[in-house]
Amino acid sequence: MSQRTTIVDVASAAGVAISSASAALNGQPGVSNATRERIHRIAEELEYVPSQRGRSLASKRAFTIGFVVQRAPEVMSADPFFGAFIAGVQKAITDSGYVMVFQISPSWELSERLYRRFAAARQVDGVLVDQLHVNDERIGLVKELGLPAVVIAPDTVDVPLPLTGQSAVPGVTALVNHLVDLGHRDIAHVAGRLDYVHSAERRNTWAAAVSARGLQPGVQIEADFTVASGKQAAERLMRLDRLPTAVVCVNDLCAIGLMAGLQAGGVDVPGKISVTGFDGIDLSSHVHPSLTTVKAMPEAVGETAAAMLLELIADPGRAPWTVPIAPGPLVIGASTAPPRSVVTDS
């Protein structure tokens, strides 16, 4: 097993002290341009790559950020968010030599253990906190642990930590306006679990947007983000005395389940009920009828969040700041149409 080349090899090959080699390689001052170049050239020739381990120990940084996804693996599988989000994170960190460690945790208890281990073992320099709950315990925890953290949440929420994310306000408002413009007057909502801030924001926006158009918010049914829950929501909806003419769903998967449930129950979409989703996942354009929805931009969120975290790590004392991500576009599909009454009226 041939020994890897270390900075010592580079320094001695260049005939300089280790400290000079280090300074040269890291762009630190105190080295003349001539020797700096020579050192770089020799490092190249020797295929020198600094050992992350040595670096880590000496510089007290792990060159690693942590991402604990607090949800069940099954739910995560279906979620359209992560792939793109992670791709974005990577885009932001790869060049700086950072790497992401990824953990899944179904429960708060496990999450807490993971965060504490991250902090105690100095395994990560900072963490990304996503899927924020109302009164999320994690924000207290990372503060207690002194762990640099960036929160991913709608930019409308107020937390004492750096934050980035997309607000659903423009998107949901656009969806509601689209429905009202089509002639709908009874617009229901299938909500996600309301202890998540982003579901709560969508619900509140639905109510506010409907009211803003001078209408009463319709029925509200609580579901989660899964297809199955959308299907159940359909069944509850169909047991109502009077069906709403439109339903705004918390996300695409839920809307897809809702449509499946309605169709199974003989309710035509959009003939009898219009349905909207949220996220703009790939599948939404392939279901029948194709879904009217709003595109989310998880890659941009991931990239921004990671970039912010790197800044925070470089300057841990920095005061919290927020970077909003531009809202995604409305995608009008075949799942929304004028309500029947309006059609016959005209």
Partner DNA sequence: GTAATCAACCGAAGCGTTTCGGTAAACGCT
Partner DNA sequence: AGCGTTTACCGAAACGCTTCGGTTGATTAC
Residues at the contact surface with DNA, assessed by CB under 7 A? 3-4, 6-8, 15-20, 22-23, 25-26, 28-32, 34-36, 48-51, 53-55, 57-60
Residue of 100, 151, 147, 97 whose CA lies nearest to 122: 147
Across the strands, what pairs with 100?
65
Q: If you search the block for the tokens 């050992």, which residue do you land on?
A: 51
Residue of 64, 309, 318 whose CA lies nearest to 164: 309
Among DNA, its own copies, none, what binds residue 25 when CB lies within 5 to 8 Å by partner kind?
DNA
Among its own copies, DNA, none, what binds residue 257 when CB lies within 5 to 8 Å by partner kind?
its own copies
Compute the C-alpha angle 23/27/29, nearest 5°: 65
292 close to 276: Cβ distance less than 8 angstroms: yes
Min dist CB 318 to DNA, Å, is 18
Stretch that binds its own copies, among 29-37, 129-137, 227-235, 318-326 (CB under 8 A): 227-235
Residue of 310, 322, 280, 277 whose CA lies nearest to 298: 280
Among DNA, its own copies, none, what binds residue 101 when CB lies within 5 to 8 Å by partner kind?
its own copies
Structural tokens at position 254: 């839920």
Stretch that binds its own copies, among 33-41, 221-229, 235-243, 304-312 (CB under 8 A): 221-229
Stretch that binds its own copies, among 8-16, 37-45, 79-87, 157-165 (CB under 8 A): 79-87
Backbone φ and ψ for 315, nearest 5 degrees, come out as: -140, 75
Give the start-end residues of each E strand in 224-266: 246-249
Min dist CB 146 to DNA, Å, is 14
| Position among 51, 96, 216, 341 found at the interface with its own copies (CB under 8 A) | 51
Give the contacts of 20 (CB within 8 A, at least 6 positions apart): 11, 30, 31, 35, 39
Among its own copies, DNA, none, what binds residue 283 when CB lies within 5 to 8 Å by partner kind?
its own copies
Residue of 94, 121, 159 whose CA lies nearest to 302: 94
81 binding its own copies? (CB under 8 A) = yes
Which residue ranges make up the site for its own copies (CB under 8 A)? 1, 4, 47, 49-54, 56-57, 60, 62, 64, 73-84, 86-87, 90, 97, 99-104, 117, 120-123, 146, 226-228, 231, 256-257, 260, 263-264, 281-283, 286-288, 299
